[in-house]
Structure 1
Amino acid sequence: MHDQQAPRRGLTLLTAPETRSIDYIPADERHGKLWHQGPFWFSGNFVLTTLVIGFIGPSIGLGLGWSVTAVVLGACFGTLFMAVHANQGPRMGLPQMIQSRAQFGVRGAVVPFTAVIFVYLGFNVFNTVLAAQGLARTIGGGPWLWYPVLAVASVVLAFVGHDLIHFVQRVLTGLLVLVFGMLTVGTVVQWWDAAPVVAPATGSTWTSFLTVFAAAAGYQISYAVYVSDYSRYLPADADPRAVIWWTYAGAAGSAVWLMSLGAFVGSRIPSDDAVTGLLRTGNGIMSGFGSLAVLVSALALISVMGVNTYGAMLTTVSAVDAFRPNRPTSRLRAAVVMSVGAVVLAVALSLPDDYLAGFSSFVLLMLYFLVPWTAVNLVDYYAIRKGQYVIGDIFDDRGVYGRWSWRGLVSYVMGLVAMVPFFSTTFFRGPVAEAMGGADISFVVGLLVSGALYAVSAGKHDATSPPGGGRTLKSVGRP
């Protein structure tokens, strides 16, 4: 029953724009298979941007062994938080971020929405740069050719929507496993005996380890903002453990693989350029194989750019709907995805050449802003309400969740403030991080403070079944 396909689904619908947006997915439109979450998140994370995370350790003086250990532990830790969000999609039938209205209020949810939109735009900028570098090195052309092409491709993919994105991700998974399986084996054999080229240490081993760990964890946690977007069409009675497991296996598996490969390449080749690393190692295995690997990577980046654009559209429409309720139309969706593509294109064209240090700081910033949100959201879902929500009131600012919820907002802000002394970035270092030699453990503080504050304040106020005439998740949907 869990893996049933709706009878109306077919390949022809892959090219037809999705009709749903931020609204509730009714039972008769639920479809998809649980295992689809695995390849979706595997391909979604198997991109050059993920490889770049592995380069961070060697670039700050961390040896290969410690770099691999840091990215593996960080990726596995961060993926845990994003994976447990996956169960919310089938149960609530809603995109990920609009669910935050239950914790922050219908309008108050715009606070985390703002940070999330920044995440989507930022990742697409870096993905655009990396994909364009790969295409230029293998096919030719420059930013003024490839940036617009990539922007248009991501916009089209996002506009068609959910089913097409899922299909593309599944197709890419087999191709990525085949090409990068050969690349990984060939890279290790080719460079195993090469002398390490790790940069001079910028701090203690412990400090560098925590820096890489935090970057890997933050990178994975950043996916939490749209996990339910791609599980919300599954049947409401889908096995929670299977949904979470397939999501975790796909996202963690690709992250561990690619980040570790990045750490290995970064410790053997004197370059922090992911495209150069792939070309050198791939062509060393077989003439032209490096170019093939880069092209396949570019295809994966285009798909992920579509995923990010789709998520940015849902979050933006959710924010607009909070102040001006309306039924999302195809015209509105098209306008938003085109606007997202235009902003990404403009920022990418203005980005400096040296982006690796900036990317590391960007990942940390994402961790800072997303950790308090994920703590509040998960505590509310699993500990306070236990999955029981009044779906209709999520779209009604006069409902049980109100316009502004001080409990969620205060918990979020206080968690973020508590993290500040533990921040350690290229542009700011808090006093606690300074005393610890630059080590950054702010994510632990944010999770504990925001989660605990929300549990204490909301636990005494919000019943497991919210008031409102006895309405339940299954009986209420947006008209």
Structure 2
Amino acid sequence: MAGSLVEQRSIDVVPDEERHGTAFSQFTLWLGANLQITAVVTGALAVVFGGDVVWSIVGLVVGNLLGGAVMALHSAQGPKLGLPQMIQSRAQFGVRGAVVPLVLVILMYIGFFASGSVLAGQAVGELTHLGETPGILIFAAVSGLMAAVGYRLIHAVGRIAGVVCALAFVYLGSRLLERADLTALLADAHFDLPMFLLATSLSASWQLAFGPYVADYSRYLPRTTSTRATFWWTLSGSALGSQWSMTFGVLVAATAGGAFMDSQVGYVVGLGGGGLVAAFLYFVIALGKLTINVLNTYGGFMSIVTSVSGFRGRRVLSPRGRAAYIALIMIAGTAVALLGKDSFLTSFKDFLLFLLTFFTPWSAINLVDYYLISREQYDLPALSDPNGRYGGWRWDALAVYAVGIGVQLPFLVTHFYTGPLVAPLGGADVSWIVGLTVPAVLYWGVAGRKRGTEAEPTPVPAGHLD
């Protein structure tokens, strides 16, 4: 139903008569999704772990633009195919083989749901005077309810959050500059390659981790929507929102030190003052996190459905089935949040960087296949047929994916593991660069040659090139 508030579709193709909206909707959604407290914490980590203000900000800009460009290329797939992001992986990995990256994506959704719930739970707990644990539970329930309503509500809340959170960040920024000696912070600039690359990796991983999300929220756009428009509006909204939040986080960490580390939400709200202003800021923090946590719940539910349907062949869900999948993601994410809330800051940094090792190879393979090999055309019915054109398991792509993960390990830096090639590079983490380039080249060589020799049926067009 084109005009219904409650979404009826899950992983099936959105028909042309139900398409609506403009590419600008991607700007408002991703701006709102990134103007939030977790992005502030991500930016702060660049300073907390040793960087200075100037080069941390520059590194974050580089990472947001590079990672955001990759993420926006995924977003541009949505209007052409009318499909959620991860079901497209069946064209590369096979109808059943796609379950391999899907399992990792589901873990990502649960992890981001949990990390967001920790910070939002603090805000909701303060706002309601019920405490952190009830705050986490309330926040999770609202996230699940919104995800059940679906696409239209998600975009509406994104538009509201973008405006409200932008106003709040302008106010908080002015309050922060009253306390900070900005001249002294900017003067203390000393380039350190490992710290610069850490900042770049933090923001790049933030953006790249959105890769499995983005087409979910552009797939209802009309098929004729410009690829360029979808790309640029997505990139600008996501990069602007995240850089704004992360720059604020850098300045907060540089001026607050341990006070911010002890209570991220409490310190940020304290910048604004007490009383009604504090209550409003707690609401803003919860609203910003709600936007992204709904995306985590919604995307997680569709990733589970995609995994199951690859083996069962069923794509249409009943309302009860939809609710059950959403509840599963919500419960799992809430459990992780409650278990990990006391060691959030270090765990979140490691979580971000470790995620990167799994999603950079997936992004590389997906984008090379879609833009360079298939040239924006997929046989859509074959994406549901394990005996069809794409097969059940594409072992060549899975092998490239495994290699893409493996080649990053020598360059990886986390709290629990450091690769052997990190020290010769001065401690710099360049694993994400290796994880993008190596599988892209390998997949182009393996799949490009194979596709070039196959006798393929005429594909269902995914749209027209600009």
Give the deviation of 1:145 after TM superposition: 1.5
TM-score (norm 2): 0.94
CA distance in 1, matches of 2:226, 2:377: 16
Give the deviation of 1:349 after TM superposition: 1.4
Give the deviation of 1:194 after TM superposition: 9.4
Contact 2:85 2:214 in 1 (8 A): yes
Alignment of 1:420-435 (within 5 A): 420-435=409-424
Contact 1:222 1:366 in 2 (8 A): yes
Structure 1, residues 418-473: CA drift from partner, whole Å, max 9, x if none?
A: 11111111111111112223211011111111000000001111149x75542423
- The answer for the alignment partner of 1:182 in structure 2 is 171
Contact 1:180 1:293 in 2 (8 A): no
Of the candidates 236, 239, 247, which is equivalent to residue 223 of structure 2? 236
CA distance in 2, matches of 1:217, 1:145: 33
Contact 1:421 1:432 in 2 (8 A): yes
- Number of aligned positions between the proteins: 455
Alignment of 1:408-447 (within 5 A): 408-447=397-436
CA distance in 2, matches of 1:147, 1:132: 4
CA distance in 1, matches of 2:58, 2:222: 38
Give the deviation of 1:235 after TM superposition: 1.0
Alignment of 1:265-284 (within 5 A): 265-270=252-257, 271-272=260-261, 273-283=263-273
CA distance in 2, matches of 1:194, 1:472: 58
Of the candidates 128, 131, 150, which is equivalent to residue 139 of structure 2? 150
- The answer for the alignment partner of 2:285 in structure 1 is 297
Give the deviation of 1:195 after TM superposition: 7.3
- The answer for the alignment partner of 2:104 in structure 1 is 115
Q: Does 1:313 align with 2:297?
A: no
Contact 1:154 1:306 in 2 (8 A): yes
> What RMSD, in angstroms, separates the aligned Cα atoms of the two structures?
2.0
Contact 1:71 1:259 in 2 (8 A): yes
CA distance in 1, matches of 2:144, 2:128: 22
Give the deviation of 1:192 after TM superposition: 2.8
CA distance in 1, matches of 2:50, 2:407: 29
Range moving further from structure 2, 387-396 or 171-180 = 171-180
Of the candidates 233, 238, 250, which is equivalent to residue 246 of structure 1? 233
| Paired letter, 1:299 | L
Structure 1 residues 293 and 192: CA distance shift in structure 2, 3 A: farther
CA distance in 1, matches of 2:55, 2:279: 30
Contact 2:125 2:133 in 1 (8 A): no
Q: Does 1:388 align with 2:377?
A: yes
Range moving further from structure 2, 370-379 or 136-145 = 136-145
- DSSP-derived class of the 1:223 partner: coil
Range moving further from structure 2, 111-120 or 325-334 = 325-334
CA distance in 2, matches of 1:149, 1:288: 21
Contact 2:158 2:291 in 1 (8 A): yes
Contact 2:32 2:158 in 1 (8 A): yes
- DSSP-derived class of the 1:225 partner: coil
- The answer for the alignment partner of 1:3 in structure 2 is none
Q: Does 1:220 align with 2:207?
A: yes
Of the candidates 11, 24, 31, which is equivalent to residue 35 of structure 1? 24
Contact 1:143 1:349 in 2 (8 A): no
CA distance in 2, matches of 1:215, 1:440: 10
Q: Does 1:205 align with 2:195?
A: no
| Paired letter, 1:28 | E
Gaps of 5+ in 2: none
Structure 1, residues 265-290: CA drift from partner, whole Å, max 9, x if none?
A: 1100122232133122212xx86534
- The answer for the alignment partner of 2:91 in structure 1 is 102
CA distance in 2, matches of 1:61, 1:390: 49
- The answer for the alignment partner of 1:366 in structure 2 is 355
Alignment of 1:136-175 (within 5 A): 136-175=125-164
CA distance in 1, matches of 2:441, 2:23: 32
Range moving further from structure 2, 334-343 or 60-69 = 60-69
Of the candidates 108, 113, 121, which is equivalent to residue 124 of structure 1? 113
- DSSP-derived class of the 1:224 partner: coil
Q: Does 1:71 align with 2:60?
A: yes
Give the deviation of 1:333 after TM superposition: 1.0
Structure 1, residues 175-213: CA drift from partner, whole Å, max 9, x if none?
A: 1122212221232233235976xxxx9xx9221221121
Higher helix share: 2
Structure 1, residues 147-195: CA drift from partner, whole Å, max 9, x if none?
A: 2211111111111111111111112211112221222123223323597
Structure 1 residues 417 and 156: CA distance shift in structure 2, 3 A: same
- The answer for the alignment partner of 1:351 in structure 2 is 340
CA distance in 2, matches of 1:337, 1:331: 10
Give the deviation of 1:295 after TM superposition: 1.6
Structure 1, residues 308-334: CA drift from partner, whole Å, max 9, x if none?
A: 100001100000001111132222111
| Paired letter, 1:254 | G
CA distance in 2, matches of 1:352, 1:218: 22
Structure 1 residues 177 and 460: CA distance shift in structure 2, 3 A: same
TM-score (norm 1): 0.91
CA distance in 2, matches of 1:376, 1:293: 41
